C-alpha cells in the first residue's frame, strides 16, 4: 500500500469511527420511549393510590375497614403488576430492535468505510445468526433480557412494599410518594445504564466479528477525551492489540463505558485527529494521558480533589 493509499484509507477509518459514534447516540435517543412510559406509569400509580387509599386518610392515619382496605390494596397491586408487565414487554421489544440494528449497522459501517478507502475491497453484511448471537450473549451468566426482567421484578416488589407500609400505618402519604418516585428514578437509571452498556457491548462484538471475518490483524483502543473517563479506559487509550490476543480489553469494560476497540489497517497506524469531548473540537491525535496533561484536565472520578 503506497503513501497515498494509506492516506485515503486513514480518512475512511476515521469515518468508521465517526459512524460508530453516530450509531451509538441514535440508539440511546430511541430509548426515550421507555422513559416516557415509565413516567406515565408513575403518575398512574400515584393517581390510583390517591383515589383508592389516600381519600381514607384522616388525622395522620388510614380510616378504612379491613375489607375495603384489602380491596383497595388488591386493586393497586393488580395495577402495578399490569404496568410492570407492560414496561417489561416494551423495554424488551425496544432494546431488541435497537441492539439488532446497532449490530448490523456497526458491522456494515466498518465494511462500507474501509471499502471506500480500498478499491476492489469487498465485504459481506453480518449474518442474521451472528446478530442474534451477539444480542443474546451472556455476561456473568445473564444476558440483558434476564437483567431487565430482574430489574422490573425488583421494582414491582418495591412499589408494592411501599404501598403495603402505608396501609399498615408504617408510612405516611408524603413518605410513600417520595419513595415511589425514588424507586421509579432508580429504575430509569437502571434502564439507561443497561441500554448504554449493551449498545457499547454490541458495537464491540460487531467489530470483533468483522475483524474475524475480514482478516483484520490489529486493533486500537480508543477512549473518550473528557473528564469522566474511567481510570481503566484512560490506561488502555492509544494501546494496540492483536486481534487474536485473548487478554485484550474489549469494551464495555464497566457500566456506561464509551470506549471502543477499533479495527486498524496495520501496527503503528494512528488517526491524525480525534474528538475532544470537553470542547467538541477536532484535535490532533494524542493519547488520553498526554491530552489530559497538556490541557490541565481534572478527571472527576480518578483525580483526588485538593483540600482547602
Q: Are residues 120 and 233 in the same domain?
A: no
Q: Are residues 227 and 95 in the same domain?
A: no
State the angle between helix axes of 173-214 and 144-167 in degrees (0 to 180), rounded to the nearest 10. 180
Q: Are residues 142 and 290 in the same domain?
A: no
Give the C-alpha separation, 179 to 241, whole Å: 47
Structural domain for 45, as ranges: 3-215
Number of domains in the chain: 2
| pLDDT attached to residue 140 | 86
Q: Are 273 and 282 in contact (CB under 8 A)?
A: yes
Q: Are 228 and 279 in contact (CB under 8 A)?
A: no
Q: Are residues 233 and 202 in the same domain?
A: no
Q: Are residues 153 and 244 in the same domain?
A: no
Q: Are residues 61 and 209 in the same domain?
A: yes
Q: Are residues 137 and 161 in the same domain?
A: yes
Q: Look at the alpha carbons of 209, 211, 213, 217 in this order and tell me if their dihedral is positive or negative.
A: negative
Residue positions counted in the chain: 308
CB atoms within 10 A of CB 129: 8
Q: Are residues 203 and 226 in the same domain?
A: no
Q: Where among 215, 240, 264 does a domain terminate? A: 215
| pLDDT attached to residue 287 | 96
pLDDT along the chain (308 residues), means of 10: 52 54 74 92 94 81 83 95 97 91 77 51 63 86 93 96 92 94 94 90 87 86 94 96 95 91 84 88 94 94 57
DSSP secondary structure, 45-109, as one string? HHHHHHHHTGGGEETTEE---HHHHHHHHHHHHHHHHHHHHHHHHHHHHHHHHHHHHHHHHHHHH
Q: Are 251 and 206 in contact (CB under 8 A)?
A: no
| pLDDT attached to residue 122 | 57
Residue position matching grid coordinates 477499533: 262
Q: Look at the alpha carbons of 122, 237, 268, 250 in this order and tell me if their dihedral is positive or negative.
A: negative
Q: Are residues 253 and 178 in the same domain?
A: no
Q: Are residues 175 and 85 in the same domain?
A: yes
The reply to whether omega before 252 is within 30° of 0 (cis) is yes
pTM of the model: 0.78
Q: Are residues 20 and 156 in the same domain?
A: yes
| pLDDT attached to residue 111 | 64
Q: Are residues 206 and 243 in the same domain?
A: no
| pLDDT attached to residue 118 | 47
Q: Which grid cell sits at 233?
A: 479506559
Amino acid at each position: 500500500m503506497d503513501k497515498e493509499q494509506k492516506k485515503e484509507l486513514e480518512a475512511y477509518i476515521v469515518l468508521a469511527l465517526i459512524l460508530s459514534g453516530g450509531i451509538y447516540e441514535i440508539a440511546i435517543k430511541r430509548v426515550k420511549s421507555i422513559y416516557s412510559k415509565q413516567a406515565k406509569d408513575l403518575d398512574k400509580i400515584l393517581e390510583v393510590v390517591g383515589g383508592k387509599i389516600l381519600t381514607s386518610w384522616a388525622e395522620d392515619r388510614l380510616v378504612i375497614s379491613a375489607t375495603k382496605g384489602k380491596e383497595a390494596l388488591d386493586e393497586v397491586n393488580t395495577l402495578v403488576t399490569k404496568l410492570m408487565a407492560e414496561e417489561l414487554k416494551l423495554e424488551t421489544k425496544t432494546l431488541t430492535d435497537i441492539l439488532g440494528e446497532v449490530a448490523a449497522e456497526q458491522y456494515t459501517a466498518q465494511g462500507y468505510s474501509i471499502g471506500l478507502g480500498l478499491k476492489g475491497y469487498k465485504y459481506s453484511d453480518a449474518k442474521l445468526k451472528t446478530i442474534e448471537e451477539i444480542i443474546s450473549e451472556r455476561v456473568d451468566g445473564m444476558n440483558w433480557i434476564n437483567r431487565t426482567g430482574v430489574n422490573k421484578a425488583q421494582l414491582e416488589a418495591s412499589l408494592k412494599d411501599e404501598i403495603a407500609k402505608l396501609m399498615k400505618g408504617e408510612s405516611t402519604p408524603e413518605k410513600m410518594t417520595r419513595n415511589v418516585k425514588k424507586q421509579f428514578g432508580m429504575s430509569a437509571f437502571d434502564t439507561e445504564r443497561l441500554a448504554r452498556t449493551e449498545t457499547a457491548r454490541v458495537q464491540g462484538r460487531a467489530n470483533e466479528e468483522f475483524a474475524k471475518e475480514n482478516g483484520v490483524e490489529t486493533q486500537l483502543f480508543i477512549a473518550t477525551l473528557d473528564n469522566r473517563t474511567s481510570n481503566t479506559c484512560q490506561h488502555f487509550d492509544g494501546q494496540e492489540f492483536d486481534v487474536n490476543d485473548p487478554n485484550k480489553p474489549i469494551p464495555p469494560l464497566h457500566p456506561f463505558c464509551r470506549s471502543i476497540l477499533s479495527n486498524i489497517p496495520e501496527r503503528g497506524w494512528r488517526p491524525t485527529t480525534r474528538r475532544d469531548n470537553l470542547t467538541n473540537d477536532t484535535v490532533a491525535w494524542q493519547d488520553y494521558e498526554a491530552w489530559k496533561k497538556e490541557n490541565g484536565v481534572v478527571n472527576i472520578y480518578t483525580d483526588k480533589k485538593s483540600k482547602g
